[in-house]
């Protein structure tokens, strides 16, 4: 099968499409013929040598496709079913991939839309769970217009929270459409938030990693009311919790997100697709920023 891989660390130019043996699922896993695979910041961090140090490495943690092989003890899906989920081996950007965690695709989604959801939705739901967001809370989300931030906004609103979200002025209408009250990020953030919430907020989530943890701590009344998924160094410096995948995954979101979509409580992000052969260009576009869409590879 054809798969994305790199054999040295560096820029997008180190990426290549190679022939690899087809994978096979273990107990509780399924193999899919990949129809679409999400791509995100973890991919270029990995390619740059900021994560695993082994070489060569494959890429991709989220995918949607058609089940074509079942592992032992799998009884909840059948050959031919459309599913989406996580490839914990980091090898989803290929023609075939093994999914360790999966769910039936929501009927209203196509493969590219489904592949855009797992990582952002799980990260957002996990962060809200760890913060303890519930009905009646006022939550500030820093970086609310990106894929993870938009998911966090919608999940928090669905829980009955009031959400204030930071974004550039160009994205304020987008945040309003998701149910958030927008504020512009940058100097003066504390004052702008206090115009909406004079007593501050109950909880704050940092998705952007833009160096505003001190302001979030001030607004939320202490570091124990703040969580970041993007600023590890800042979390250590200011005593803020840092959320990552090995601290308890919110895998239930794969099963629940279809209902939120059907009820109108969750809007799927815009998707920009690239053929698998153009993975280097997909990395360049993603790393450059400014793309208000989830990048998805299509084998």
Tally of CB atoms within 10 A around 245:
16
Question: Is there a domain that residue 51 lies in?
Answer: yes
Domain count, the chain: 2
In this predicted structure, the answer to whether residue 294 has a pLDDT above a threshold of 90 is: yes
Question: Is there a domain that residue 258 lies in?
Answer: no
pTM of the predicted structure, to 2 decimals: 0.93
Does one domain contain both 92 and 207? no
Does one domain contain both 127 and 242? yes
Does one domain contain both 278 and 239? no
The pLDDT of residue 50: 86
Question: Is there a domain that residue 36 lies in?
Answer: yes
Question: Is there a domain that residue 281 lies in?
Answer: yes
pLDDT digits (tens, 9 = 90+) for 156-208: 999 999 999 999 999 999 999 999 999 999 999 999 999 999 999 999 999 99
| pLDDT tier, 52 (very low <50, low <70, confident <90, very high otherwise) | confident
Percentage of the residues of the chain whose pLDDT score is greater than 70: 99
The pLDDT of residue 51: 84
Structural domain including 276 reads 2-117+268-298
The pLDDT of residue 77: 96
Mean pLDDT of 10-37: 97
CATH number at residue 131: 3.40.50.720
| pLDDT tier, 295 (very low <50, low <70, confident <90, very high otherwise) | very high
Does one domain contain both 23 and 91? yes
The pLDDT of residue 246: 65
């Amino acid at each position: 099968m054809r798969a994305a891989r790199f054999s040295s660390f560096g820029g997008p130019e180190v990426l290549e499409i190679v022939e690899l043996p087809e994978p096979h699922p273990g107990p509780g896993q399924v193999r899919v013929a990949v129809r679409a695979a999400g791509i995100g910041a973890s991919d270029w961090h990995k390619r740059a040598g900021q994560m695993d140090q082994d070489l060569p490495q494959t890429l991709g943690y989220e995918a949607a496709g058609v089940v074509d092989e079942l592992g032992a003890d799998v009884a909840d899906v059948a050959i031919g079913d459309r599913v989406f989920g996580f490839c914990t081996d980091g090898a989803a950007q290929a023609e075939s991939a093994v999914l360790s965690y999966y769910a039936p695709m929501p009927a209203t989604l196509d493969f590219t839309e489904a592949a855009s959801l797992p990582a952002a939705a799980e990260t957002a739901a996990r962060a809200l769970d760890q913060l303890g967001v519930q009905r009646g809370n006022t939550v500030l989300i820093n970086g609310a217009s990106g894929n993870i931030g938009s998911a966090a906004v919608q999940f928090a609103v669905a829980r009955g929270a009031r959400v204030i979200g930071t974004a550039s002025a160009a994205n304020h209408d987008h945040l309003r459409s998701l149910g958030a009250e927008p504020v512009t990020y940058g100097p003066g953030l504390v004052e702008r938030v206090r115009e909406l919430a004079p007593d501050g907020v109950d909880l704050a989530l940092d998705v952007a990693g833009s160096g505003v943890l001190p302001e979030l701590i001030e607004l939320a009344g202490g570091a124990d009311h703040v969580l970041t998924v993007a600023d590890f160094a800042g979390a250590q410096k200011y005593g803020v919790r840092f959320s990552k995948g090995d601290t308890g995954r919110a895998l239930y979101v794969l099963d629940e997100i279809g209902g939120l979509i059907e009820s109108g409580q969750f809007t799927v992000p815009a998707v920009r697709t690239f053929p698998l052969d153009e993975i280097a260009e997909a990395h360049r576009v993603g790393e450059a920023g400014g793309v208000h869409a989830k990048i998805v590879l299509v084998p």
